[in-house]
Every structure is written in C-alpha cells, then in structure tokens.
Amino acid sequence: MVQRRSQTFFQQIILGTLASTILQLSIPLTSLSQINAPLGVIRDSEQTTEWNSIEQRLKASRIPYQTLDLNNIKSPADLQGIRILFLPNLTVIKTEQAKVLQEWAKQGGQVIASGPVGEKSTPLVRQLLRSILGSYWAFPLTVPAKPQIAKNRCRTKDPICASLTTWGPIQVNANPVDGGVLIPTTLESYTAGIWEASGSSPAVITTQKATYLGWRWGNQSSAEVDIAWLQAAVSRHGLAGNPTTPIATATVPPPTAIRPAPIAPTTANRPAPIAPTTTTRPAPIAPAIATRLAPIAPTAASRPAPIAPTTANRPAPIAPTTATR
C-alpha cells in the first residue's frame, strides 16, 4: 500500500516537472517571435523629399523596419504581421485609412507617431487619430527647444504612470529641435517628455499602446534626438532596436539545462514507513499504572463521635416542701 502511494506521488512530481519545463520553453519562443517582428513604417507617396531624410535616419537608428505605402492600406489584413507602426509626420490621412488604423489598434496594434499627424486631414480623421494616439498636436513652438524626460510627473503611487513616463533617453548635450505642444485627450495619457525652457509643455505623450513624439522626426530635427527617442520608444513597445546584436542568437535554453535530476528528488522525498509508527506508538502499560489511584478506606477518625447527654446539664427537679403551707 505504501509503495503504491509512493509511485503515485513520484508520478505527480514528474508530470509537474515536465509541465513546468514545457511552459518555460514556450515563453522564450513567444518572446523571440515578438522581437523578430519588424517596425512597420508608413510612407506617404507624396512626401518624396522628406522621405529621403526619414529613410536615412531610420538606417542610422539600426532599427529593423519594413516600409508600407499609405495608399495600399485598405484593411487590417494589409497590416498582418506588423505589431508596431511608425507614422512619421503624416499630415494627410484619408478617412478610410484612419478607420483601418483604428481597427488594427483595437486588435492589439501599437503606434508611434511624430510631427503634426493629421494636421491637414478632415475633422473626423483628426478625431480618430486622437483616439488612437491619446493626444494631438496643438500648436508649434515659437523657438526650437530640447525634449527632456518628464521627471516626478506621477503624483500618486501609480505603477502605470511610472512605466509610461520613465523610459525616455537621457541626453545632456542634445541639440534643440523644431517641435510643437502636445495635448492629452484621455485620462490614460501620460507626459513622458517636456520641452526644456518652454514652461514644461508636453513634448512626448504616451499611453499603453501609443507614443507621440512632438517634433518632425527625420526632417528638421537633430539626428541624435531622433535616434535616441525612437530607439527608446520601440524598446518600450517591446521591439529590439539594435540589429548589430544579432537577434537570431537569442537561443532557447536546452531542455537538459532546466531538467531536474530524476533520482535526487525521489530519494529525498521518500518517507520512511517504519520510523513514524514506532516513535509515535505510546507504551500501553506505563500510563495505566501511573494514573491508577489507590482507594482510600474510610477511617473511624473521620466519623464524628455521638455526644451522649450528661446528667450535669439536666436540671434537678424541685420537690415541694411543707414550709409553704
């Protein structure tokens, strides 16, 4: 009986170990597939001159990307395989294209935008973009300024606020850029960057699924600022940003490295069947003799002796005398 229970116990241990091993192996495979997904960069066919500068800046950033023509985006299926989209300075977006972006974002897509996105589009398109980005371009700065990390922006102990506002790069000698003031549109929008010497106006606003850089990326801005903030943004969204470190080398740990030895846990966890029974069995004779009380025989000393009446306490009868006649 004990041997059968021990076999069942060991089978449960082995099954649990195999299940945890399979789970650990599946997690790196999922993470690896996400890392290998390229950054989708949407290109407007009408911004030929500006696109050359954007493309050179993208190559300098060493971020793996895939170019998508804006006019070819007609359904969410056209964005299949893309997890993160970059909208660099797209001022004109059609209503159908904005609806496709909104539907794709609802399915889990994440967006990085820069510049006055949708500035020359219809009011409906601008409203759709605000729902996707969680903010909008309000007005340009009067003078160039430096975007810097927004420190101590979380007034309460909000873990979401901390994760969305502390990811920006630290740049000491960055050049100023021509930017604009961004305005958040939802309670889930957080300021991750501010304009230096500009009244701490929002320069970068983030949500859990979007990042908005408040300057024209790759065109009139500083190369150091562009590259540093884009690399930080794609890293925040879970995308590797430096292909000089080969992504394919992120191999999955071999099963033998995480498989426990099958003999050690079985011998260590096998209980001794005899020791508990002999040590916990009480002696049957000693407690019975120790707890038996000897009967106490009543003695005559404890019985009160009856008190016999004495004549001394009885008054003597008075006999009548003849003297009183």
Buried b (16+ CB within 10 A) or exposed e, 65-101: beebebeebeebeebeebbbbbbbbbbbbeeebbebb
Query: What pTM, to 2 d.p., does this model score?
Result: 0.65
- Do residues 224 and 170 lie in contact, with contact meaning Cβ atoms separated by under 8 Å? no
Report how far apart, in Å, the C-alpha atoms of 109 and of each of 132, 133, 160, 197 are: 10, 12, 19, 35
Structural domains of the chain sorted by starting position, each given as residue range(s) with its CATH number in brackets: 40-242 (3.40.50.880)
DSSP bridge partners of 110:
84
Cross-strand bridge partners of residue 191: 205
SS3 221: coil
Tens digit of pLDDT per residue, the chain (325 long)?
A: 555 555 565 566 665 555 554 444 443 333 333 445 689 999 998 888 889 999 999 999 999 999 999 999 999 999 999 999 999 999 999 999 999 999 999 999 999 999 999 999 999 999 999 999 999 999 999 999 999 998 877 877 788 898 899 899 987 678 899 999 999 999 999 999 999 877 789 999 999 999 999 999 998 778 999 999 999 999 999 986 554 333 332 333 333 444 544 554 444 445 545 544 444 454 454 444 444 444 544 444 444 445 444 444 455 555 554 444 3
Beta bridge partners of 259: none
